[in-house]
Chain A
Amino acid sequence: MNDETKIRILQEEIASLKMELKRKEKQLHELRFNKNLKSPCSEDLNTEEIARYSRQMLIPDIGVRGQISLKQSKVLVVGTGGLGCPAALYLAAAGVGEITLIDNDEVDLTNLHRQILHTELDLGIKKVLSAFDTLTSINSNVKIVPVHMHADGTSLQKFLEDNKFTVVIDGTDNVATRYLLNDLCVINDIPLVSGSALQMEGQLTVYNFNKGPCYRCLFPVPPPPETVTSCGDGGVLGVVPGIIGVLEALEAIKIITGISGVLSGRLLIFDGSEATFHNVKLRNKNNNCEVCGIAPIITEPIDYEQFCGAKAHDKVENINILNSDENVDVTDFSHKFKNNQLLLDVRPELEYQMCHLPNSLNIPFSSIQKCKDLNDLETEIMEKCSNEGSCVYVICRRGNDSQRAVCQLKEKFSSLPVKFINIKGGLHAYSKLIDPSFPVY
């Protein structure tokens, strides 16, 4: 029996054991918490709820009234990643009546350092289902609605029409979806709590609340796609989206319970490396805004991928810019490559330090673009590629930058008798097809 079959059988066994476990947990829960016990002093909250939420109801700003508002509210969390997980966690614990989760991704090993609703056992399953399990186990009073879908204009618009959400939480990872959520929240008149995080920094604000500005008031023109960095490329420290996601939950609770001081018209900038929070005053709502202004032009969702010039996800799009004789697939490469040949790894230095193939030379693509360290490369080429027709293999993470590098290198070294060959699919393909012990990240 191969490992894949073993994994599948075990997953099925665990799934059926989980069903059994859930049945017994439900029995225990019902014996422990009698949901039918009407409290003698409240119409709206039962005995268990009063005890459970007592610590937050003791805050004058919340009180019984605020707790009832939370129970009657419906929150939409778009994205169950680094921001959506901590946000949903605290909203569920606080007793929000209904939380809808939208995400079309599955749990991946690279998610677990920050997406804290998912566990090792959830790898490969839909994020919304994994989040559903965790949230329900923390507070079974809350109705969790898991929706496995991509947040596109048509489906999301229908969704917002059918449900009257009190607040929407933006936990997405790309510019196109951020504009989409903004426009839909304006059109449907719902406050949008918007957070973002990268590396050691986070940003947080509330759009479309109490005559405050919307995302388009601030950014009528989307950023050039080449200036947008994803967590998969730039990296992110798990606690940073954790902090921002928790603050998103706080803003949502304030909006729901009517606490003043909502972060509207202001931007909170968190710098984890310096442990600073900057609270800056933003511009007013723009009366000429295309979506929230006096005479809006955008009254229904537009094509956001076209508007932003970028896809509505944070995955990398593969390119194919070389002639077929400038490419080699990983299988051919692994047969052909000899130790006396030159293997050039063009990933950033930090990625090279995490993992690399033996006998490879690291010159990042960014250096090649700036013609930096090319003397080192020329020396290596002169040393290793003395024979007529020898080649330099070029590799990167997924096989895109290596193609760009080949394009530049063949021009820069056109005088040398050497051919630059791109390794198709990069180290991802190498790990998948040749050596699974090479880490995929």
Chain B
Amino acid sequence: MSELPITIGFGGGAELLFDNKKNHPVSLPVKDKAWKIGDLIFWIKDNLLKERPDLFIQDDSVRPGILVLVNDTDWELVDTVNYEIQPNDKIVFISTLHGG
């Protein structure tokens, strides 16, 4: 197996936890089992997150109010944390806005 190239995106203010950077092209390291989004969340926590993990992760998933999109589709439609990440996927974590 080889490295898994994907793009991780943040929006709606979630990027503030990641150095204010919205797009992060990354290569996920080789591992013996398939990469699932559940694994990715922890990889992000260990490798990209700059501060306050509680504002991103809760109970082994993303905190309430963050929507996860896999190639512009709600992750609920692709089995959430169990989705097997494919090469060149774009996975976006978007915080919902409430202001007006």
Give A residues with C-beta under 8 Å from B: 79, 81-84, 170-175, 178, 195-199, 201-203, 218-224, 226-231, 234, 236, 241, 267, 269, 271, 274, 278-284, 314, 370
| Contact in complex: A282, B100 (CB < 8 Å) | no
**Sample of 19 more A-B contacts, CB < 8 Å, known A198-B98, A224-B55, A234-B99:** A79-B100, A170-B100, A175-B98, A178-B98, A197-B99, A198-B99, A219-B65, A220-B64, A221-B64, A223-B96, A224-B64, A229-B98, A267-B67, A269-B11, A271-B22, A280-B73, A281-B77, A283-B74, A283-B76
What is the CA–CA distance of A269 and B72 in the complex, to the nearest angstrom?
10
Quick one: which of B63-90 are within 8 Å of A by CB? 63-65, 67, 69, 72-74, 76-77
**In the complex, A217 Cα to B63 Cα: how many Å?**
16
15 contacts between A and B (CB under 8 A): A173-B99, A175-B98, A196-B98, A198-B98, A201-B97, A203-B96, A220-B64, A222-B64, A223-B96, A224-B65, A226-B55, A227-B63, A269-B11, A280-B73, A282-B74
Residues on B with C-beta less than 8 A from A195 are 100
Contact B99 A231 (CB under 8 A): yes
Interface of B is mostly: loop
Query: Interface size of B by Cβ–Cβ distance < 8 Å?
Result: 24
B12 an interface residue at 8 Å Cβ cutoff? yes
B51 within 8 A of A: yes
Q: In chain B, residues 37-72, which have Cβ atoms closer than 8 Å to a Cβ of chain A? A: 51, 54-55, 63-65, 67, 69, 72
Chain A residues near B95 (CB-CB < 8 A): 223, 227
A-chain residues with CB within 8 Å of residue B11 when the two chains form the complex = 201, 269, 271
Q: Is the CB of B65 within 8 A of A196?
A: no
In the complex formed, the residue of A with least CB distance to B54 is A224
Interface contact A198-B97, CB-CB below 8 Å: yes
Contact partner, A82, options B51, B72, B76, B100, Cβ 8 Å: B100
A203: B residues at CB distance < 8 A: 12, 96-97
Kindly name the residue among B22, B54, B67 whose own CB sees the greatest number of chain A CB atoms within 10 A.
Answer: B67
Flag if A219 contacts B12 (CB, 8 Å): no
A234 to B95, CA, bound (A): 14
Tell me the complex Cα distance, A241–B94, Å.
18
| Chain B residue with Cβ nearest A203 | B97
With A and B bound together, what is the CA distance between A196 and B63 in angstroms?
A: 19
Residue B100 contacts which of A241, A271, A274 (CB distance < 8 angstroms)? A241
- Asked whether B13 is an interface residue with its Cβ less than 8 Å from the other chain, the reply is yes
Instruction: Give the complex CA separation of A434 and B75 in angstroms.
Output: 54
Is B13 a contact of A198 with CB atoms below 8 Å? yes
Q: A219-B65, A221-B64, A223-B65 are in contact. Are A228 and B74 (CB under 8 A)?
A: no
Q: Which residues of chain B have C-beta atoms less than 8 A from A281's C-beta?
A: 72-74, 77
